[in-house]
Amino acid sequence: MIYEKLVEKISKSSGLELEEIEKKIEAKRSKLSGLISLEGAAQIVAAELGISFDNEKVKLSELADGMKRANVLGKITKIFPVREFNKNGREGKVVNFFIGDETSSARIVLWDSNHISLIENSELKEGDVVEISNGNVRNAEVHLSGFSDIKKSKELIENVKTERVMLEGNLKDASAGSSMKVRAVIVQAFEPRYFESKKVEGEKGVLLNIVLDDGTETMRTVLFGDSIKKLVDVSDEDLFSAEKLGAKVKEVLGEERMFSGNMRINSFTSNLEMTANGVEEVNFESLVKELEAKV
């Protein structure tokens, strides 16, 4: 449900005026330093007012960070291998997969062994439509615990989106869990970092931290291999040379690009940052046409 519909439903269920509900939502978002979306703050306000949306399904485009007990329906578009982990003395398995509906796409994360066995035993596979209940939305992902439920559905979904829908906006309006496309200037770049790939033994990966400024806010943005190559013209060999890659990155400082990606909270700094998965040249002709259409 979109923000406006959510506010209307809270108002109707609580008997409070729309303006009062919106004030409570803004106060909650302000208390959380703006790091939660309007929809997520509205969900918290609803819960504090004793209003439950437990049995209502939402479209994937309507998922918002902070949602509890989210119910969604989608077709499985891609399943990743089951991974084992051992972290802080805790061992277990985890599996990720993507689902899509006609509005957007979302990553689903399974932690419960019973849910994971459905993937391991091919009871759930790519192409299946699944119904998910009681999922928690964190950093644009729907996480399922032992209190959640996932099962195959007989419903049909046509025209499935395989990528998350990006909304164009400003960095000042960004919130954790949102996916955005912004036009911004590269104002700072850090030394590239290299690491051992967790997916392929012996293979190295690379990440690059830059700072963007769109005139409304500055934000640290993280790019990985393919996204770095979209930002700068660099060969596969030079991508893994800190000196050569660093020189290429310096050439684009002060330049403007269109960046698309997911907003999430950095677990070390607690700051909002973007993980970019798309970088494009700014199409000024298209921008001019858009401005002319609004006049």
**What pLDDT is stored for residue 268 in this prediction?**
82
The last residue of one of the domains, among 139, 163, 187, is: 163
Nearest to 111 by CA among 144, 87, 160: 144
Give the DSSP letter of residue 64: -
Q: What per-residue confidence (pLDDT) applies to 228?
A: 95
Give φ, ψ of 294 to 5 degrees. Answer: -85, -15
Tally of structural domains, the chain: 3
How far, in Å, are 122, 146, 154 from residue 128 at the CA level? 11, 21, 9
Based on the fold, state whether residues 209 and 273 are members of the same structural domain: yes
- Residues 31 and 60 occupy one common structural domain: no
β-strand pairing of 193-196 with 218-224: unpaired
- Shared domain for 101 and 146, answered yes or no, is yes
**For residues 209 and 274, is the Cβ–Cβ distance under 8 A?**
no
Q: Within this chain, do residues 144 and 172 fall inside the same structural domain, yes or no? A: no
In this structure, which amino acid lies at residue 193?
Answer: R
Asked if 186 and 258 sit in the same domain, the reply is yes
Residue 48's Cα: distance from chain center in Å?
Answer: 25
- Are residues 135 and 47 part of one domain? no
Which pLDDT score is estimated for 290?
59
Q: How far apart are CA 130 and CA 123, in angstroms?
A: 11
Predicted local confidence at residue 75, as pLDDT: 97
Long-range contacts of 226-233 (CB under 8 A, 24+ apart): 227/276, 227/277, 227/278, 227/279, 228/192, 230/278, 230/279, 230/280, 231/257, 231/279
- Single residue among 133, 163, 193 that ends a domain in this structure: 163
Listing DSSP states for 173-205 in one string gives G--TT-EEEEEEEEEEE---EEEE-SSSTT-EE
Please tell me whether residues 178 and 244 are part of one structural domain. yes
CATH number for the domain spanning 115: value is 2.40.50.140
Let me know whether 278 and 159 are in one domain: no
- pTM for this model (two decimals): 0.62
pLDDT given at position 1:
45
User: Same domain for 158 and 194?
Assistant: no
- Residue 50 falls in which region: left (phi positive, over 0), alpha (psi -120 to 50) or beta: left
Q: Three-state SS for 250?
A: helix
What CA–CA distance (Å, rounded) separates 87 from 55?
34
Are residues 274 and 175 both part of a single domain? yes
**Angle 87-176-171 from CA coordinates, rounded to 5°:** 135
Residue ending a domain, among 163, 179, 214, is 163
Contact 136, 112 (CB under 8 A): no
How much is the pLDDT for 77? 96
Weakly modelled stretches of the chain, pLDDT under 70: 1-2, 34-37, 53-54, 65-66, 198-202, 284, 286-295
Q: Indicate whether 8 and 126 sit together in one domain.
A: no
Domain identity same for 12 and 45: yes
Which residues span the domain enclosing 74? 54-163
